[in-house]
Amino acid sequence: MNRKGFCTLYLPPISRFAYLSLVLTLVFAGCGGHTTSPVKPVPLTLQAAGVGGAAQRFTTSALSAPAASDTIPVTFTQALLVVRDVHFALDDEGDDTDTLDVGDDGGDDGQARFHGPYVVDLLNKTAQSLDTEMVPPGVYEHVQGHLRALGPDDGPASTYASLIGATIRLEGTIGGDGGGPFVYSARIDNEFMIRGNFTVLAETPATAFLVFDLSRFLTGREGQFLDPRVAENDFWIKQAIRHAIKIGMDDDHDGEMDDDLAEVSN
* pLDDT over 60 (residue 35): no
**Predicted confidence (pLDDT) per residue in 56-79, tens digit:** 999 887 654 545 558 899 999 999
* pLDDT over 50 (residue 23): no
* pLDDT over 60 (residue 86): yes
pTM: 0.76
The string of DSSP codes covering 177-213 is TT-EEEEEEE---EEEEEEEEEEE-TTS-EEEEEEEE
* pLDDT over 70 (residue 189): yes
Among 119, 250, 227, CA closest to 180 = 227
Confidence of residue 128 (pLDDT cuts 50, 70, 90): very high
Distance CA 264, CA 122 (A): 18
**Predicted confidence (pLDDT) per residue in 197-210, tens digit:** 899 999 999 999 99
Q: Mean pLDDT across the stretch 174-194?
A: 94
Read off the amino acid at residue 112: A
Say how far residue 48 (Cα) sits from the centre of its chain: 9
Q: What is the reported pLDDT for 102?
A: 34
Q: What is the reported pLDDT for 177?
A: 87
Q: What is the reported pLDDT for 106?
A: 43
The C-alpha torsion from 54 through 60 and 191 to 55, rounded to 10°, is 0
Confidence of residue 257 (pLDDT cuts 50, 70, 90): confident
* pLDDT over 90 (residue 187): yes
Distance CA 132, CA 31 (A): 41
Taking CA atoms, 129 is separated from 34, 145, 156, 219, in Å, by 41, 16, 15, 28
CB 21 within 8 A of CB 183: no
Could you tell me what percent of the chain has a pLDDT over 90?
60
Radius of gyration over every alpha carbon of the chain, rounded to an integer in angstroms: 28
Distance CA 80, CA 156 (A): 12
